[in-house]
Structure 1
Amino acid sequence: MKRKKIIISAFSNLYTDQRIEKVCSTLFENGYRIELIGNDWGGAAKMSCPYPFSRIQLTSKSLKTAYFEFNWKLYHELKKKADQDTILHANDLDALLPNYIIAKKLNIPLVFDSHEIFSEMPAIQGKLSQKLWRYLEKKIIPDIKFMITASGSYAEWFKNKYGIHPVVVQNAPRKINFIIEIPENNPKIFLYQGVINPFRGIDKAILAMHHLENVIFKIAGDGPRKKEYEELVSQENLQNKVEFLGKLKPEDLRKITVTADVGMSIEENGGDSYLYSLPNKVLDCIQAKVPLIMSGLPEMRKIKNQFDVGEIIKNHQPESIAEAVNLILNRGRESYQEELNKASEVLCWEKEELKLLDIFQKASQ
């Protein structure tokens, strides 16, 4: 049977979005005809994909107006490209409205993937835009038939709020199918990977470097707080102990991750979106067999209770962060390998994609 066409859209420049890349690849490899639509907000770096993709050009100068412009232009793109043989796939709330309108007009299936709880993100807390996103969420989400989300706690939140039952498809990486050799680093490498945003604990981890000897803190990523944190490093005279690697392609980031002695995911409770998240970096470190320090948020505690893959910090004081890092360094990366191996067999894309394929199979019927 000929598979349907799937138009996947996201407010993203697509370059470093690992979840979208994995979803597209899985669907493409399983015979669906894929078309991916993003935008050029934050740049339009060259990409190569086995399926067609395009980026909507945005002229907006602020993120607020960029959202409106993208949704307007996405609506017209979907109107041109969607037909009765199409499944629409919206990534996050900021791409949902045009998909929802076109799906209703054409009476075609829509799959909504909520990577986070968009209306509860720290960046919009207490702002007018938060009211708008909450309104949109309340109007549309209860009417969604096919929804996926990135953590069990997110699914529970949406169920309690809107009576909907999303399928949990964790953003786990693909299995690393080669033997990882543990390097003898000197100094030891403490790694943060991801967006440089508030509530990620990065500033506290920088200050923790005062309490760590023979350790270098590498920060892989970019984001709105990068300049502020670079200034903090300078003020604290930690230039020899902290290194900013910039934004890396997913394949280059993976090469860096496997070299680390300790990873970190010490998100703070910056609202429900952070509180209930399962950060990608946790699953990336597990797959790279790197033990990590974690905050005691629900999804991370769940993993720690199931697999001994690292240490939970007592609190976000720099001394407590340093204590957890030292605990891992003193035990050694080797001593975590058995548990990391077990976790990597369970928490991998090969398991998650089966749930993804199941939901698109149902949407195709």
Structure 2
Amino acid sequence: MTRPRILCISLSPIERDARVLRQISVLREYGEVTTVGYGGLPAGASDHIAVPDDKPSLPQDPLGVLKLALHMHRSAELSAPGIRSALASLEGRSFDLVVANDARVLDLAFAVAGHAPVWADMHEWAPEERTHVLAWRLLVAPFMTHLCRTYLPRAAAVTTVGGRISDLYRETFGVRPRVMRNAAPYADLPLQPASDGEIRLVHSGAAIHGRNLELMIDAMTLLDDRFSLDLYLVSAADGGAYLSQLKERAAGNSRIHFRDPVRPGDLPSTLNSYDVGVFWIPPVHTNARYTLPNKLFDFVQARLAIAIGPSEEMVDVVQRHGLGVVSADFTAEACADSLRSLTTQRVNDYKQNADRAAHELSFETESEVARSILSDLLTR
């Protein structure tokens, strides 16, 4: 019996895209998976169409920028170099299901789907993906809104990362995405008790402007010698410029260490020896306000206590499961104050709670949403 042919589109480096890799791990249970994206063949895919790294996923040539500036959004569809490259490579091929990751590939997904259903996985609130960048806010945000308004009502299934962002899609575009959080796979790891007299902080992720990672460094300067901070940061598309700035900012503080980044699947075991996972991101835009990131769930699987700011979706998870401390605001002083409240016993209590919550807050639980969608769409 021929297995269903599933096309998974993500104009990202899929080999490093934790959410898409987890998605593929479920897709392969239901069919043969062809991926479209940057980089090489990702784990779990049977075939891969590599989009050249120099082909951007948005219209960035002079004509494309003009179309965006004039709000000629219908004309701007399928005009980005990366989209055109993928479209040419997919010519003549057919699939039983198309999965579109992020709004920027919705036009491509429907162009190649034919009669096949499209599952649109909206990782974030697409109209404000990068609104801290002026050019994005003026040129790209209206285009993302157009793509969502045009294509999401036509999608056979829509998912997103959290309840409040799902509400935004319903209120703005009239669709109700199902929630599939960015949870890491369950990791069978031991709980490592904190040592008396020291609290080892850790953060992992991408060094991207707008995440205000310097806040962690500034908070560290206000803390006593009990605290150390290790950073596992991946360079962003700026060629590592922001990461270099962070290193300069931390220079001279012997309790801050920059470690080599590790693969997404190795993060829980790498972080397991630490005490507290930290992430404070000010609500500079909607996605920051409602963030519920991979790293929160990585911290849980690593059996860490967690320190966050008053980010609503994260607060819900941390407080429901008793996982850690929430700062009063996003100033370095408030973040440092929340950490000063920690004792060895409190850290170990939070670690115990993370261990208890690890099954519930795992991809194995979240993936049931994907299986429900796939079972429905592939048996229609």
User: What is the TM-score when the length of structure 1 is the normalising length?
Assistant: 0.88
1:48–1:354 distance in 2 versus 1, CA, 3 Å: closer
SS at the partner of 1:195? strand
- Partner of residue 274, structure 2: 260
Give the aligned residue type for 1:98: L
- Using the alignment, how far apart are the partners of 2:7 and 2:345 within structure 1? 48
1:185–1:232 distance in 2 versus 1, CA, 3 Å: farther
- Using the alignment, how far apart are the partners of 1:185 and 1:77 within structure 2? 58
- Using the alignment, how far apart are the partners of 2:372 and 2:270 within structure 1? 33
Q: CA deviation at 1:187?
A: 5.5
- Count of residue pairs the alignment pairs up: 356
Match status 1:219 vs 2:227: no
More displaced 10-residue stretch of structure 1: 133-142 or 351-360: 133-142
- Partner of residue 204, structure 1: 215
- Partner of residue 347, structure 1: 361
Q: CA deviation at 1:120?
A: 0.4
1:156-175 equivalences under 5 Å are 156-175=167-186
Give the aligned residue type for 2:108: P
- Partner of residue 139, structure 1: 150
Match status 1:23 vs 2:33: no
- Using the alignment, how far apart are the partners of 1:327 and 1:180 within structure 2? 21
SS at the partner of 1:270? coil
- Using the alignment, how far apart are the partners of 1:349 and 1:271 within structure 2? 27
Deviation string, structure 1 residues 261-312 (Cα, Å, up to 9, x no partner): 1111212112112222211111111121111111212211211331110111
Match status 1:37 vs 2:36: yes
1:271-282 equivalences under 5 Å are 271-282=285-296
Contact 2:191/2:352 (CA < 8 Å) preserved in 1? Answer: no
- Using the alignment, how far apart are the partners of 1:326 and 1:225 within structure 2? 35
Contact 1:121/1:274 (CA < 8 Å) preserved in 2? Answer: no
Give the aligned residue type for 1:295: G
SS at the partner of 2:186? coil
Q: CA deviation at 1:228?
A: 3.8
Q: CA deviation at 1:342?
A: 2.9
Contact 1:154/1:277 (CA < 8 Å) preserved in 2? Answer: no
Give the aligned residue type for 1:37: V
Aligned counterpart in structure 2 of residue 95 of structure 1, from 80, 89, 105? 105
Structure 2 portions without partners, runs of 5+:
62-78
More displaced 10-residue stretch of structure 1: 254-263 or 122-131: 122-131
1:57-72 equivalences under 5 Å are 57-60=52-55, 65=60, 68-72=80-84
- Partner of residue 154, structure 1: 165
CA RMSD of aligned residues (A): 2.6
Contact 1:209/1:238 (CA < 8 Å) preserved in 2? Answer: no
Q: CA deviation at 1:324?
A: 1.7
- Partner of residue 336, structure 1: 350
Q: CA deviation at 1:149?
A: 1.0
Contact 1:296/1:312 (CA < 8 Å) preserved in 2? Answer: yes
- Using the alignment, how far apart are the partners of 1:168 and 1:313 within structure 2? 26
Q: CA deviation at 1:3?
A: 4.0
Structure 1 portions without partners, runs of 5+:
none
Contact 1:262/1:325 (CA < 8 Å) preserved in 2? Answer: no
Q: CA deviation at 1:327?
A: 2.4
Give the aligned residue type for 1:73: S
- Using the alignment, how far apart are the partners of 1:70 and 1:186 within structure 2? 52
Q: CA deviation at 1:233?
A: 4.6
1:180–1:342 distance in 2 versus 1, CA, 3 Å: closer
SS at the partner of 1:267? coil
Contact 2:205/2:233 (CA < 8 Å) preserved in 1? Answer: yes
- Partner of residue 51, structure 1: 46
Match status 1:116 vs 2:147: no
- Using the alignment, how far apart are the partners of 1:198 and 1:133 within structure 2? 21
Give the aligned residue type for 1:191: V
1:32–1:185 distance in 2 versus 1, CA, 3 Å: farther
- Using the alignment, how far apart are the partners of 2:56 and 2:264 within structure 1? 27
1:229–1:98 distance in 2 versus 1, CA, 3 Å: closer
Match status 1:193 vs 2:204: yes
1:291–1:155 distance in 2 versus 1, CA, 3 Å: same
- Using the alignment, how far apart are the partners of 1:211 and 1:331 within structure 2? 22
- Using the alignment, how far apart are the partners of 1:145 and 1:163 within structure 2? 14
Give the aligned residue type for 2:215: K
- Using the alignment, how far apart are the partners of 1:231 and 1:178 within structure 2? 34
- Using the alignment, how far apart are the partners of 2:200 and 2:244 within structure 1? 18
Deviation string, structure 1 residues 75-132 (Cα, Å, up to 9, x no partner): 223333324xx200111112221101222xx211111101111220235453312222
- Using the alignment, how far apart are the partners of 2:261 and 2:94 within structure 1? 34
1:304–1:6 distance in 2 versus 1, CA, 3 Å: same
- Using the alignment, how far apart are the partners of 2:207 and 2:195 within structure 1? 28
Match status 1:300 vs 2:314: yes
Aligned counterpart in structure 2 of residue 129 of structure 1, from 140, 159, 165? 140
- Using the alignment, how far apart are the partners of 2:375 and 2:91 within structure 1? 23
Identical-pair percentage: 18
Match status 1:82 vs 2:94: yes
Give the aligned residue type for 1:143: R
Q: CA deviation at 1:235?
A: 4.8
Q: CA deviation at 1:326?
A: 2.7
1:64–1:326 distance in 2 versus 1, CA, 3 Å: farther
- Using the alignment, how far apart are the partners of 2:12 and 2:192 within structure 1? 34
Deviation string, structure 1 residues 184-213 (Cα, Å, up to 9, x no partner): 498642111111123424111111111122
Q: CA deviation at 1:318?
A: 1.3
More displaced 10-residue stretch of structure 1: 298-307 or 326-335: 326-335
Contact 1:310/1:328 (CA < 8 Å) preserved in 2? Answer: no
